[in-house]
Amino acid sequence: MNTAVNPNVVHESEAQRQFARVRIPAKLRFIGPNRETQEVKVEELSAGGFSFVSTKPLKEGEIYRGRLMFVIDNLGLGMDIEFQARSVDRDGRIGAQFQNLEQSDIATLRHLITSHMSGELVTVGDVLGTLQRDNFTKARKDKKLQDGRGFFGRATAVGFSLGVFIVGVAAFGYVLHSIYGAYFVTHAQAAVVSVPGTNITMPRDGTVSSLVGPDGVALKGSPLATFSTSMLDVLKGHLEEADLTPAKVTELFGKQMTGTLTSPCDCVIAQQLVANGQYASKGDVIFNLAPRDATANVDARFSYSDFQHVRPGTRVTFHVAGEDNTRDGTIVSSTPLKTDELSSDLRVSIKPDQALPSSLAGRPVEVSNDRGPNLDWLIDKAVAHGF
């Protein structure tokens, strides 16, 4: 076995050459230190640099500008370059390194070197095809280097992301609430606070003036209001023809007769339907009286299609206009408004869990029946399945 060591072999760990150097016929024309133009022959060429012999010494470390020229298919190919003199030998040999090469120039050099090393013939078409291709991959973005926004920039980004998240959660909650309301909540079409009471009507055509105090309390037999009517209206149907002369009619029309309306019970004025001094016809309701110890209920109207959800005994929630809190109650009766129509609405009477003051009579109410999943619903389901 031949164990002789070749002294000309240099181990890669001793001299790590980054680019392969080849001998390609090429010339370099550049501007020397004294602004003179020199043209030399390139001895070795790589993608990172080249070497040549200069007739005039160059200063090591200086950057020079020149033009690298090749001959391909009897056509000249020139490449404007900048290079730095990295090493200067005593015999004039210069080792140069490319500076600021563009991607197209790097691709051309690599193609020329690769083709020369593989023994292929370089053509102009190959060079043009190389220049048309994207020969470089995009560098990966370094997040640490890219994110230079600082604390306030990152805080703004986090706040914006949090805002978008909150808006998304709110939108999802709104959609979920709408779906829940459509499938599990039944709303009344209309509702009002009602108090069982007595109506006081106008005995004759005329004007009304209330006598009830600001507290609205009227004892049994106490005066409620006075009314004034024309004497002609009182005597209508009782006058003879001799009394119907124009002068007599004018005289009777100008005379007024007054009367008093009294309370039939110990009541409070739930509603006064005719204002003081307003004209009312005979039979019009003037006052709606409610017993002093009476409790108000809620009358509501539901769609006929919801009859399964508004049966007597059903628990409902309602909100009286003017109050801040909601109340609970139970449906005590359910009857159609018009029994001769199968498609008519249903009228239900709701008894509140807490007594409603009669002063709320006539106020609008919002009534709803929530039959969605809750703790009681889960317990009822569990009991129904025998758990």
Tokens representing 255 are: 């005379």
Q: Identify how many contiguous H helices and E strands the chain contains and give both numbers.
A: 7, 21
The range of the structural domain enclosing residue 332 comes to 297-384
With cut-offs at 50, 70 and 90, classify the pLDDT of residue 167.
very high
- Asked which of 291, 319, 345 is the last residue of a domain, the reply is 291
Q: For residue 338, is it within any domain?
A: yes
Residue 19 in domain: no
Q: Are residues 31 and 127 in the same domain?
A: yes
- 258 and 224 share a domain? yes
Q: Domain boundary at 291, 308, 332, which?
A: 291
Residues 204, 118 share a domain: no
pLDDT value, residue 163: 92
- Per-residue pLDDT, 16: 46
Task: Tell whether pTM > 0.75.
Answer: no
Please tell me the predicted confidence (pLDDT) of residue 166: 93
Same domain, 313 and 354: yes
Count: domains in the chain: 4
Share of the chain above pLDDT 70, in %: 73
Distance of alpha carbon 45 from the chain centroid:
64
Residue 188 has pLDDT above 60, yes or no: yes
Arithmetic mean of pLDDT over the chain: 76
Do 205 and 242 lie in one domain? The reply is yes
pLDDT at site 13? 40
The CA distances from residue 25 to 98, 102, 125, 294, in Å, are 18, 22, 19, 118
Q: Is residue 308 part of a domain?
A: yes
Is 8 among the domain residues?
A: no
Residue 106 belongs to some domain of the structure: yes
Structural domain contains residue 9? no
Q: Which range in 4-18, 116-130, 215-229 is most confidently predicted, on average pLDDT?
A: 215-229
pLDDT (tens digit, 9 = 90+) per residue, 256-288?
A: 667 788 888 878 777 778 888 888 888 888 887
- Cα 149–chain centre separation: 28
For residue 165, what pLDDT is reported?
A: 92
* Per-residue pLDDT tens digits for 271-330: 778 888 888 888 888 887 877 777 788 888 888 777 777 888 888 989 998 888 889 999
Q: Is 80 exceeded by the pLDDT of residue 355?
A: yes
206 and 176 together in one domain: no
Is 7 among the domain residues?
no
pLDDT at 12: 41
- Mean pLDDT is lowest, of 35-49, 74-88, 93-107, 280-294, for 280-294
Residue 230 pLDDT: 66
User: pLDDT tens for residues 36-72?
Assistant: 888 888 888 888 888 888 888 788 888 888 988 888 7
Q: Within a domain: residue 16? A: no
Residue 233 belongs to domain with CATH number = 2.40.50.100
Q: Residues 335-363: what's their mean pLDDT?
A: 74
- As a whole number, mean pLDDT of residues 189-202 equals 82
The verdict on 38 and 124 lying in the same domain is yes
Q: Domain boundary residue among 291, 306, 338? A: 291
Q: What is the DSSP string of 104-167?
A: HHHHHHHHHHHHHHHTPPP-HHHHHHHHHS--SPPPPP-HHHH---HHHHHHHHHHHHHHHHHH
What pLDDT is attached to residue 164? 92
40 contacts 27 by C-beta, under 8 angstroms: yes
